[in-house]
Structure 1
């Protein structure tokens, strides 16, 4: 079986017609477990969790409309999971938990896109990389991975090493491996799965998330995985899954985790 749990409607509309372009693509590619996980910052209901000028310009959705879209799809027997991708925000555990518990999500993805006020994966902030110490950014990023895991609020951590997106990577490999080690130890002690995401292949880094060494640590510590494309347009659903499956099996994974209404079930990796 295959999963694709990380997908976004934000470049189109919150309509059934647009949603069906994604679900039809998933069905055509043999993806049995498919979900939409829109960025939580788009919704007015998350203003008390994450707020900055970049985010606030993009906060245009209401959760009632989002939930209604899924109910409309389910009434038409369209098999799609309802999720959210939430920016893990230090110091906002109570607010994040309240938001997550307010909706009947099938699963919740936690991701890190911000290190303080630095949008690490945004082109608008790319010049900031040359003004900062790369090791410090990585240390602060993986600090958040650790506390994300320790919060135990999330079912999946999104693109675990997103911080490498623009090819700014520590030259000290021992330092980098220490970051990987402490992150995977925290994840292993939580309920959080890791996604193998093909999105990195479409980014400047041109690599899968996570790095092979990082994924090996995940496997060695018993952390389950899902497959995701992080598609922001329909034709990217399930894209490059041959590479994701190959890496997963090369590392040793033989199964994926699936989700429904917060309950998880292990299935054979297709």
Structure 2
């Protein structure tokens, strides 16, 4: 079974290509299953689309769901198309997001931390201005938000955990017990963690994945493709990487129900 649960498309404003193009690319790459999981709108904002490059418009959300479901029916028998969504972890808005997402037939929901307590995931400049202790405090704060997202019960999959590793120089060398505490929380709340292959810099890295296996954290795969040609990228290499670490199974989803599949199947 070859799959990819994390893909975007043009509605979010920072990806290219239509949903149909991602599905066709998935078929060309030999995938059995393709999940479409674009960014939610900012439901708590008054504006229909407060960011032209950060989210889809609220008015587009029903059309997004409808299009994926129509394509799911159209491609049935050739490739399995799944209706997913990537929702930011915004602590003050959990009930709002929970109620909206529950009203649609999603196969899975990815929860991702992009901002935490006023800090941005991509703010390398801020990181470089911090002392060593300040960097460690920021890393601990990030892990705390990931742990909170796992506790929320809103998500089936946690997206690109430890993505700061891609943007903050020296981040991996700052070891902290918060990593273990976060992994224990993810395991205790039985949320699946994504291995994210975008930018050719996989996250989580091997060190964190070994800790995750130790605590019993389940995993799945998502390319986080923002261009159709990157769908399923590094799937086989990541599967082997997980086998080398000691994992023997990973998760797929349908209708918010998880199934564990053997990695070597």
Q: What is the match of residue 223 of structure 1?
A: 217
Give the number of equivalent residue pairs: 254
Q: What is the match of residue 144 of structure 2?
A: 143
SS at match of 1:92: helix
Q: TM-score, normalised by structure 1?
A: 0.84
Q: Distance in 1 between matches of 2:262 and 2:46?
A: 36
CA offset digits 1:199-255 (Å, max 9, x no partner) = 141xxxxx3110111111211222211111000001111112232112111111122
- 1:140-219 equivalences under 5 Å are 140-170=141-171, 173-175=174-176, 178-201=177-200, 207-219=201-213
Q: Distance in 2 between matches of 1:35 and 1:58?
A: 18
CA contact (8 A) 1:49 1:89 kept: no
Q: Give 1:108 shift.
A: 0.3
CA contact (8 A) 2:164 2:171 kept: no
CA contact (8 A) 1:3 1:226 kept: no
Q: Tell me, which stretches of 5 or more residues in structure 2 are unaligned?
A: none
1:47 aligns with 2:44: yes
Q: Distance in 1 between matches of 2:48 and 2:137?
A: 23
Q: Distance in 2 between matches of 1:57 and 1:187?
A: 27
CA contact (8 A) 1:154 1:191 kept: no
Q: TM-score, normalised by structure 2?
A: 0.86
Q: Give 1:189 shift.
A: 0.7
SS at match of 1:104: coil
Q: What is the match of residue 2 of structure 1?
A: 2
CA offset digits 1:157-201 (Å, max 9, x no partner) = 0011111121433476442xx122011000001131011111141
Evaluate the alpha carbon distance shift between residue 120 and residue 52 of structure 1 in structure 2; reply closer, same or farther with a 3 A threshold.
farther
Q: Distance in 2 between matches of 1:50 and 1:108?
A: 23
CA offset digits 1:79-134 (Å, max 9, x no partner) = 2111110110123222222122121110000000102232212xxx4322223322
CA offset digits 1:130-157 (Å, max 9, x no partner) = 2332212211110101111111211000
Q: Distance in 2 between matches of 1:187 and 1:234?
A: 31
CA contact (8 A) 1:157 1:192 kept: yes
Q: What is the match of residue 238 of structure 1?
A: 232
Q: What is the match of residue 108 of structure 2?
A: 107
SS at match of 2:38: strand
Match of 2:255 among 249, 256, 261: 261
Q: Distance in 2 between matches of 1:198 and 1:245?
A: 11
Q: Distance in 2 between matches of 1:126 and 1:222?
A: 32
Q: Distance in 2 between matches of 1:184 and 1:47?
A: 29
Q: Tell me, which stretches of 5 or more residues in structure 1 are unaligned?
A: 202-206
